[in-house]
Amino acid sequence: MTKAALQSSATSSITPTPQIAPAASPTTLSSTHATVCHITSSPIIHPRDLGANRVLPSILSVLESRSIIRGKSTLRDRTPDAKLIPTRNARNNTPFVEKPYPISSPVKYSPIAASVAIVFLQGPTQKGNPVLRTVLRAIQYVEVARQNVSMPGQTNSGPDRKPLENPGAPVAAMLLPLLLSLLSPVAIAPTSEAQEVEAGLSPEEIWSVEYANQNFPWGGDTKAQFREYHDYFTMKNRMQFLADRNPEIMTYHEGLIGGVNARGDEMAATDYEGWYYNHRSPWLKITKDASGGDCNVFVGDCGNFDDRPDVMLVGNHHAREWMSYEVPMFFLETVAYYYGMAGVDNDGDGSIDEDPWNGVDDDGDCGLLNASNQDSNGDGNPCGPGDLGVDEDFSEQFITDLIDSREIYLIPMLNVDGNRYDREEFCGPTAWENCRTSGWRKNLRDNTHTGITPIPDIDEEVDEGCDGVDLNRNYQFEWGAPLGATGPLFPGMCYADGPNNDVYNGPVNYEDNDGDGLVNEDHVDGKDDDADGHIDEDWMGGNTEPETKFIQDMTEMNDDDGDGASEFKTTLTWHSFSELVLWPWGHCTNCYSPDDEFLVYHGQIMGEMTDYAPMQSSELYPTTGDFCDWHYGVHNSYCYTIEIGNAFHELPEDIAHIAVRNVGIAFYMTEIADDPRYRAIVGIENTTARQWLSSPDNVTVPSNGDIPIGFCLDVSFPYSTDINMTHLMWRFVEPTRQQDDFGPTEWSSVPWSRAPFIEPDSSVHCPLRDGSNGTLIEAHVPLPDTSVGKIQYKAMLGTTNGAFPFIYPTVDEGGNYYELSIPYRAGFGDAILSVLMFLVIATFVWGGLGFSLREMFSEEERVLGMPVDETD
């Protein structure tokens, strides 16, 4: 039990209850004095029953009859009223039933005795340790005997006697600490056994109160703190606010500007508005210098750089899946708050960056908790992803490096129309109460308003039995029935599978898209179905909705390097529910993509990060026309679907921990956006984990000149020699005495310099972490010999196929930088000149001092300024 717990337990044990009036007696003492503790126990016994503990009453008798104040022993004569002390049964947490003793007067207790007794109140007094029970009964005996009070089985025949002065009281007072130290183990040991105190610590004993209660550092209202769901309007306002406060890395947008798209269609901004509420999907462009770089007039964004990989993160395809936009909002808050920081102690445990996003309690602090707190998210997996103490202290420098080297397209709520309808009409704002695993799924396409349908739409209101399209069945790749979607029987008809068909995939396209006189002869599947030399040029349907057209054009019009291909090498879409990580293919069973091994690798990593089950999408159930099949099948983007949680409308109190559990995936997808295939290869081969950057202990600082820092690489690793890709980042700091203990947070504003890595000698090898031979490259830090301070350094590694950056030290090693102390290295000049200089200085300093002293003590000259001695 901790000290705080012991004090708390003691306090609760001595809280007084209403007084019990004592029986009338000639020996009743005054009840007007200060009240102190009264200890209830079993019947009082005679000293001869105390056995080995007979010395205790004698010592306590002395202590209780004296007050020791400022070193003086004073006889005490305070008589409190009798009180009952409420205690609790430690085994079942039920109150003990205490009864007053059958004595004729209240018992007199002194503060010293009470203070001793308080210690013992931590253990059971009725059962348990017999020595403890004996001591407590002895205390009562002493008090009663001192007051000449009748005890059970005895008569009080003598007059009241005042206790005699005890000249040994000072000695007894000195023995009090010894007494307490000898008896405290007796009190404490039974306490742990009797109360069955839960082993481990509470969250507040390990972390800051803010972290223990999941109070996020960016502040804000209950929605920003993820205790309440955003709606469309509050989400939009928050996005605009964060973009306004972080203009160097964020710009806010709605839909697209439009123009002629990649398919030759003229598009206007209104083409991306929802059918019913006329909202365009809000999104953020996130990258360093978001207003710089190239500007895309069709998309409407700037901050486009041909050397920065792009990643698309999309939430809320399905209206009722509210957590699917809360997780991207949590990602946004994390980026906005931590960008530009480094070395923050996120959990208040005194360490920094010791627990990155990987689903593992790297620093073991969750394991220090008592068992009842180890599964804080209630998923049945103690100290797993989402629990307090897991992935809680990530690297802020890692976040900053990602934002500086990536372009992120964050679309938290794609299906604005459907989400508003689900919240405002279909389920209501407290949907978790009545629609926990149901709700409105689709958008709000008016399926009875096509111009040729035989079903009139008189009132133009939402027809819940027919309207709407499932956006995640409306993408063109392998669009259509029969797998996981329902095609219309004829244009505008959605009753193929009964009312409110949740997976209606949209209307059929009856256009001759390629002008060959045929219709729908070459649907989108990556093959030349009609053998005309063109692929997928006459599709059957799909991408008919404002929301899916928005995704299509953002993807196909985002071509930073002008090669005609999409820049999105990774894409991610959040859904709910089932706690799954899914990847292509989804349209077929018992089929595998060409990149299956690598898709599986990343999927398993994200499964470990979240404790979600990783699987190919079609293993759950086959679907056609979904987001990930289209992105991978048409644009070769590594695409993943995350099925969040266990309900469409989770309880508000679960929003925070579910968001925490899932946020790391967005950063992982952003990290691998440079080359996900190669990242999987080196991960499978464990290549990057075998490589190492020289730590400060292994760096030799020469007596003069540049400082070499080595980097041991796998001989097969295709590192780039381009300094923009591969380099050592370093900076020199000169801490003052007050700054000597500064860490990454304080030094984060100091700019970095770059030093290229070179291969000094092809015959020089170094041992990799697995013991095999590696290639040594070195960077030389050009630091003057006169510099005294610290070098902070880290390596950024790029490959010839464009993967960048691989950062060392790795995230698992802290993810910030190494720090090397630099002594004064400049020489002190020629030895002869140094001796001559010393002699000159000594002559002037010591010679001048000697001359001054001689003059001061000379009796031949009077001291200037002193009056003349007229006696001379």
DSSP line for 246-274: -TTTEEEEES---EE-TTS-EE-GGGGB-
* 8 Å CB contact between 628 and 472: no
Strongest mean pLDDT among 141-145, 215-219, 525-529, 839-843: 215-219
Lowest mean pLDDT among 103-112, 161-170, 663-672, 772-781: 103-112
| Stretch 741-746: mean pLDDT | 68
Per residue in 515-560, pLDDT (tens digit) is: 877 777 777 888 877 777 878 777 788 999 999 999 999 999 998 8
The pLDDT assigned to 475 comes to: 96
Distance CA 672, CA 606 (A): 12
Per residue in 607-630, pLDDT (tens digit) is: 999 999 999 999 998 999 999 999
More confident residue, 272 or 621: 272
Q: For the chain, what's the residue count?
A: 872
For residue 141 the two structure tokens come to 């005996």
Cβ neighbors of 302 (< 8 A, separation 6 or more) are 251, 285, 290, 291, 292, 293, 294, 295, 296
* 8 Å CB contact between 618 and 588: yes
List, in sequence order, every beta strand (DSSP E) within 715-847: 727-733, 753-758, 765-767, 773-781, 789-797, 806-808, 818-822
Whether the pLDDT of residue 857 is over 60: the answer is: yes
Whether the pLDDT of residue 584 is over 80: the answer is: yes
Q: In whole angstroms, what separates CA 175 from the centre of its chain? A: 51
Per residue in 780-828, pLDDT (tens digit) is: 999 998 888 899 999 999 999 888 889 999 877 766 889 999 998 876 6
Pairing label, strands 613-616, 580-583: parallel
| Stretch 254-260: mean pLDDT | 98
Whether the pLDDT of residue 315 is over 90: the answer is: yes
Q: Which amino acid is at 214?
A: Q
| Stretch 752-768: mean pLDDT | 86
Computed from CA positions of residues 299, 303, 307, 313, in that sequence, does the dihedral angle turn out positive or negative?
Answer: negative
Cβ neighbors of 232 (< 8 A, separation 6 or more) are 279, 413, 416, 419, 420
Whether the pLDDT of residue 667 is over 50: the answer is: yes
The pLDDT assigned to 333 comes to: 99
Q: Give the pLDDT band (50/70/90) at residue 160.
A: very low
The pLDDT assigned to 56 comes to: 46
Q: In whole angstroms, what separates CA 9 from the centre of its chain? A: 32
455 CB-side CA count, 13 A: 15
Distance CA 113, CA 139 (A): 7
Q: For 504, phi and psi rounded to 5 degrees?
A: -65, 130
The pLDDT assigned to 801 comes to: 85
The pLDDT assigned to 169 comes to: 53
Q: For 373, phi and psi rounded to 5 degrees?
A: -105, -5
The pLDDT assigned to 871 comes to: 54
The pLDDT assigned to 16 comes to: 41
Q: For 280, phi and psi rounded to 5 degrees?
A: -100, 145
352 CB neighbour count, 10 Å cutoff: 21
The pLDDT assigned to 534 comes to: 79
Whether the pLDDT of residue 600 is over 80: the answer is: yes
* 8 Å CB contact between 511 and 652: no
The CA dihedral of 779, 782, 784, 789, to the nearest 10 degrees, is -60
The pLDDT assigned to 705 comes to: 92
For residue 668 the two structure tokens come to 């992982």
Distance CA 603, CA 418 (A): 29
Whether the pLDDT of residue 362 is over 80: the answer is: yes
Q: Which domains does the chain have, with CATH numbers?
A: 3-195 (no CATH), 687-822 (2.60.40)
More confident residue, 139 or 621: 621
3 CB neighbour count, 10 Å cutoff: 7
User: Counting Cβ atoms within 10 Å, is residue 459 exposed (0-12), middle (13-18) or buried (19+)?
Assistant: exposed
761 CB-side CA count, 13 A: 4
Distance CA 480, CA 483 (A): 8
Nearest partner of 318 among 541, 471, 109, judged by Cα: 471
139 CB neighbour count, 10 Å cutoff: 26
* 8 Å CB contact between 754 and 709: no
| Stretch 480-486: mean pLDDT | 61
Q: Which helix (H) or strand (E) holds 286?
A: strand 282-286
Q: Give the pLDDT band (50/70/90) at residue 508.
A: confident
User: In the chain, what percentage of residues exceed pLDDT 70?
Assistant: 69
Nearest partner of 233 among 424, 94, 84, judged by Cα: 424
More confident residue, 743 or 657: 657
Per residue in 795-804, pLDDT (tens digit) is: 999 999 888 8
Distance CA 136, CA 116 (A): 9
Upstream peptide bond of 585 is cis (omega within 30 degrees of 0): yes
Q: Which helix (H) or strand (E) holds 408?
A: strand 407-411
